[in-house]
A = this chain, B = another copy of it.
Amino acid sequence: MARSRTWSSRATVDLARRDAERIYVGKEKDNHALAQDEINALMVRLALAGKRVVRLKGGDPFIFGRGGEEIDSLAAQGIAFEVVPGVTAAAGAASYAGIPLTHRDYAHACVFVTGHLKDGAAQLDWASLVRPRQTIVVYMGVSGLAAICAGLVEHGLAATTPAALVEKATLPGQRVIEGNLASLPSVATAQGARAPALLIVGEVVRLRSRLGWFRPLGAEAALDQKG
């Protein structure tokens, strides 16, 4: 199957006028077309050259999207800009996995963090995460999955707390790997989970058995079929 960015971006980019110049600056793990400061500088340079610049991103620019840094570069040069909010990955993954992030009976709060590892360890504020009636969403949660699940248990969450890894959320190749904090890392490894993926932890994950509705197309869907 084609890489997800190919599928998801092209249809959107095709909406631009035919004579628009298209510059790919996307990021994939360990394969960034441009570093963040190069993206910032490029936008400034093009805008100062009189171009009308659209910076297209997946998700929401102000939730782990580094939109703040990008427009800060513009503001510093007196360049006018607008920001269009988007469907953040947590919302997309939740809807397409059938997992409400909040629910009157199970979760009165949700917290979003990133799972990036620094020196091999997840730098998370564990005390704020291991609270009752709260859903945890970890963006970029694949590479740190084992460390994150272990850390949550070590700091007080039950090992039986339901957890789901949503791979390629909302795309035709979406796959949801379910388990709990004890089982999910080994299940995900066995199934070859890889980025992009979002980790959702909390009692709301149980609702998926009733509320899951999206049937992805393609080969990978076979792994996601429910009995």
Contact = CB atoms under 8 A, between A and B. Distances in A.
B211 A103 contact: no
Interface residues of A, number: 58
Given A85-B91, A131-B125, A211-B75, A114 B108 contact: yes
A84 interface: yes
Contact of A68 (B64, B87, B96, B100): B100
Interface of A: 60-69, 71-72, 75, 80-88, 90-92, 94-96, 98-104, 108-114, 123, 125, 127-129, 131-134, 170, 204, 207, 210-211, 213-214
A74 to B, nearest CB: 9
Nearest to A214: B82
Given A68-B211, A75-B210, A128-B111, A95 B102 contact: no
A197 to B, nearest CB: 17
Given A113-B109, A125-B109, A61 B95 contact: yes
Contacts of A60: 87, 91, 94-95
Contact of A100 (B62, B86, B133, B134): B62
Contact of A85 (B63, B85, B92, B128): B92
Protomer copies: 2
Among A62, A66, A80, A110, chain B packs the most CB atoms within 10 A around the CB of A62
Nearest to A81: B213
Contact of A211 (B71, B112, B114): B71
Contact of A213 (B66, B82, B88, B98): B82
Given A84-B95, A86-B87, A111 B114 contact: no
B62 A102 contact: yes
Contacts of A61: 95, 100
B101 A62 contact: yes
Contact of A128 (B64, B65, B71, B109): B109
A102 to B, nearest CB: 5
